[in-house]
Chains A and B, each alone.
Chain A
């Protein structure tokens, strides 16, 4: 069964460093998403991406964040200058169409630890 994959599974970085989190969505999916979950808290929407551009973004997704689909398979989230409060689990998700009829499939997550 097709699945969303994410790398790395765990990333440790120092405050102020740039990180890139990678995701490979399900191959025929058209919509891509990033969410984050601070330990023990709820899942928060960051950004959605369709047709090579951002569709929606939340207030969390400030200028420190960017997304890119550099090729036909990868979808990346970049944090330019990490802060301690960026420590969280980051989930990538994809869907074939908007969530109106099809659910989003989530990847296993990348645990980001900023020290």
Chain B
């Protein structure tokens, strides 16, 4: 059974600092997704990573995928308050469903 583990689960950052969120998964997959969720809101797609070595960047966020290590990272550069949210990684289970990590609740403080 596919298991997806994220860490840390809680992250409190100061503005302008850098940090990385990690997403490990247990079985072979080359499709990984990052979503953002604001409190009480739906899931907003951030990145779709479809191959080993894939790297995508949008603003202060950069995501990468290493399928051999079964690891994806979401790197935050020079954090700002607007990035405060919960970030989920999700892995395609190849059975027409996605399995989500537990989420990382990010708080960016001034």
Contact = CB atoms under 8 A, between A and B. Distances in A.
A80 interface: no
Given A91-B42, A91-B43, A104 B98 contact: yes
Contact of B96 (A43, A50, A103, A109): A50
A56 interface: yes
Interface string B70-110: 00000000000000000010101101111111110000000
Interface string A50-73: 100001101000000000000000
B103 A42 contact: yes
Contact of B97 (A33, A102, A108): A33
Interface of B: 31, 33, 35, 41-45, 48, 50, 88, 90, 92-93, 95-103
Interface in A20-65: 31, 33, 41-45, 48, 50, 55-56, 58
A1 B99 CA distance: 27
A44 B48 CA distance: 19
A107 B97 CA distance: 16
Given A48-B96, A48-B97, A99-B31, 14 more contacts: A41-B102, A42-B88, A43-B43, A43-B88, A55-B96, A91-B42, A98-B96, A99-B33, A99-B98, A100-B31, A106-B44, A106-B45, A107-B42, A109-B42
Contacts of B33: 99, 103
Contacts of A41: 102
Contacts of A91: 42-43
B45 A105 contact: yes
